Amino acid sequence: MPTLRHLAHLPAPLAAEVATWVAFRLGPRAPVRPHEQETHQASRRSTLSHSRPAVNRGRPVDIAVHTWGDPDAPAVLLVHGWQSRASFFAPVIADLLASGRRVVAYDAPGHGDSGGSRRTLADDVAIIHRLSEAEPGGWEGVVAHSAGVLGAGVALADGAPARRFAGLAGLSSATAINDGFFAASGTPPGLRARYDDVVRRRRFPDEPDLYERYDLTRRPVPATVPALFVHDDADRYVPHRQSELLLGAHAGSAELVTTTGLGHNRIVRDEAVRRRVVDHVVAVKPSNLP
C-alpha cells in the first residue's frame, strides 16, 4: 500500500478525498490459481443483477454466482474477502461437498468474474440477502474470510437465515477497517474525522448510521446462530485482536480457535482448520487442532 504521509501538505478536504479513493481502490483482480482451477471450472454459474443506485447511478452490475453439489442438499454460503474470489475457497468447497453439502459462493463486485469496479460492505450485505431469499430453507452454514466476515455477519444480524457461522481472519467493524487503513498507509491521524465523513457520504450515502450498523460488536450475530472464529496469532493484515473482539461480542454463542504460522490467507487452506470449520458447520463434535 502506498504511503500517504504527504497528504499532510494538502488542504484537509482534498486530502480526505484522496485517502478515500486510495482506500477503496480494488487493484487487479485475483486470478484463478492452479489449485483452484478444477473447482472453478466445475461450478454451475448464474448471474445476479445487483444495483446500488446512490453509488452506481442506477446501473446494475452482474454478479457471478457459483454453485456446487446436489441441488437438493443442504446449502452452505461462502463469502470471500478483499481482492479475492469464490474459487479462493476451493479446498473448503471440496470438504463441504464430501460432507454431502451444496455450496453457493459469489464473486463480489469488481472481483472474479463479476462486473463493476467498486465494492463496499453494503454490496455484500445486499447480495447475501438476495441469495438468502432464493434459499427458502435457509443456509445450513455461512463461512466467510477477512472482510467477508463483517459483511456476512451484518447480514446475519439483519436476519438472514443460517444455522451456523464460521469466520476466518475476520474484521469486527467498519471502524476497524478504517483503523487498519490509517495504520498501514500512514495517513495523517488529523484527517480521520474528515475521512470517516467522506466514506459515509461517498460510499454509503444511503446509510447515515454506517459505523453503528457495520459493527458486529454492537450488532452481533444472533445467539441462536453458533459462531466459530479462527484467527492466526501472527496475521499481518488483520490483527488477532479483531477475533478477540468478535468473541467478546458473542459470548456464550461462539468460540475462538487461534492458530500459529498460517497468516491471513493460508489459514483457509490448512487441513486442520478446514476440518474444524466443516465440523462446526455440519454440527459434528469438533476435532482438536494440533
Dist CA 50 CA 64 (whole Å): 10
**pLDDT on residue 53:** 58
pLDDT at 287 over 50: no
> Checking DSSP bridges between strand 102-106 and strand 165-168, what pairing results, if any?
unpaired
**Per-domain boundaries in the chain:** 31-173+214-281
Q: Span 196-216, mean pLDDT?
A: 91
Mean pLDDT of 40-67: 87
CA gap 131, 126 in Å, rounded: 9
pLDDT at 286 over 60: no
Q: What is the CATH number of domain 31-173+214-281?
A: 3.40.50.1820
Task: Output the nine-digit C-alpha cell for 275.
Answer: 476440518
Query: What is the reported pLDDT for 1?
Result: 59
User: Is residue 206 very low, low, confident or very high in pLDDT (cuts 50, 70, 90)?
Assistant: confident
Measured CA to CA in angstroms, residue 67 lies from 48, 97, 101, 106, 160 at distances of: 13, 11, 11, 9, 19
Phi and psi at residue 79, to the nearest 5°: -130, 115
State how beta strands 254-259 and 227-232 pair: parallel
**pLDDT at residue 288, as a whole number:** 44
In sequence order, what are the residues at sequence separation of 6 or more whose Cβ sits closer than 8 angstroms to the Cβ of residue 101?
69, 73, 74, 75, 76, 140, 281, 282
Per-residue pLDDT, averaged over 144-154, amounts to: 98
**pTM score of the predicted model:** 0.94
